[in-house]
Amino acid sequence: MLKPDDYGKTDFLQILKSRYPDQVADWNRLNNVQDGFPHNYLEGTTVLALVYNDGVILAGDRQATEGYQVGERRIQKVFKIDRHSAIAVAGVAGPCFETAKLFQVQVEFYEKMEGTSLSLDGQANYLSSLVRMNLSLAMQGLIVLPIFAGYDLKQKKGRIFKYDALGGRYEEDTYYSIGSGGKDARSTLKKMYRPDMSEQDALTAIAEALWDAADEDIATGGPDLIRKIFPTLISITEQGVSDISDETVEQLFEELVSRLGQL
């Protein structure tokens, strides 16, 4: 069952590929179906991250679109990876979630095998290769774009990594947003970002950025006060990843709405 030369392998994906190839998505087949390409797939929209004094906040709206329709109102685009890192994904929903799941399994697999966690840079680099795996999808316009964020225990600060469709990895020191409403959210974050923000200020900026993205971009979902669906927000600090509760998020948006109403 375990050959000696297998022992040191800490790459879960390589194990899947060599022993369970059916479990690995083979997007290369797509090259043969250029004409009859199916169009009923979901797309996730806006995700963003912001560095503040205690770490970093990662957020995403809850909507997925299918063409011009709302495909899903309660989708989750933010996933915890290990105790001090998380990923938010925008793009074609299926491959996005597959990438996030594989990434999470890989990081945990490494941690258990080695008895020590994979460094934040190590995680960020590994994610590059997962994004690159979707290259043939990207060539069809089906792009998977993650934002990876974490608290670096060595550097004692929150860090953000963004990716391009070819797997290029770039670090952002301040904030970043991507997805269909990403540019709108980025404009808001640009105006509101200050070095060394408090958590409250950071949350306020994130809420406003999400609001503006939903306001300007038809695909991005805003806070749904009737169904009580709110964007996902998580904070990552030295203490680890923690969810910002729905009540807190609801309150943030209520404050924002009343502030906007006074203008």
Partner 1 sequence: MSTPYYVSPDQIWEDKKVFVDRGIGQAKEVVVLEYNNGLLMVAENPRRTIFKVSEIYDKIALASTGRVSEYETLRVVGIREAEVKGYTYYREDVTGKWLTNLYSQQMMAIAQAWDVKPLEIELLVCEVDGEPDVRSQIYKIAFDGTYEEMEKFAVIGGRAEAITEKLNETYNEGLDLTEAMQLASRTFEAIEVEESEPYQITPQSIEVGCLDATNGRRKFRRFTAEEIAEIFNHAS
- Binding residues vs partner 1 (CB under 8 A): 1-2, 7, 12, 15-16, 19-20, 23, 101-102, 105, 108-109, 112-113, 115
Shortest CB 9 distance to partner 1, Å: 9
> Out of 10, 45, 99, 237, which one is annotated catalytic?
45
Residue 96: which of 140, 45, 50 has the closest Cα? 45
Query: What single-letter amino acid sits at 193?
Result: Y
C-alpha–C-alpha distance, residues 55 and 42, integer Å: 32
Shortest CB 105 distance to partner 1, Å: 5
Shortest CB 82 distance to partner 1, Å: 9
To the query of whether residue 45 is one of the catalytic residues in this protein, the response is yes
Give the DSSP H/E element, type plus range, for residue 57. strand 55-60
Which CB, 101 or 259, lies closer to partner 1? 101
C-alpha–C-alpha distance, residues 45 and 96, integer Å: 11
Which CB, 20 or 68, lies closer to partner 1? 20
Query: What single-letter amino acid sits at 99?
Result: T
Q: Which residue bears the tokens 């994979």?
A: 118
- Collapsing DSSP to helix, strand or coil, 110 comes out as helix
Which CB, 12 or 201, lies closer to partner 1? 12
DSSP string, 195-231: TT--HHHHHHHHHHHHHHHHHH-TTS---BTTTTB--
Residue 41: which of 127, 175, 126, 137 has the closest Cα? 137
Which CB, 3 or 39, lies closer to partner 1? 3
Shortest CB 76 distance to partner 1, Å: 15
Shortest CB 86 distance to partner 1, Å: 14
- Collapsing DSSP to helix, strand or coil, 7 comes out as coil
C-alpha–C-alpha distance, residues 99 and 77, integer Å: 11
Which CB, 45 or 106, lies closer to partner 1? 106
Q: Which residues are catalytic?
A: 45
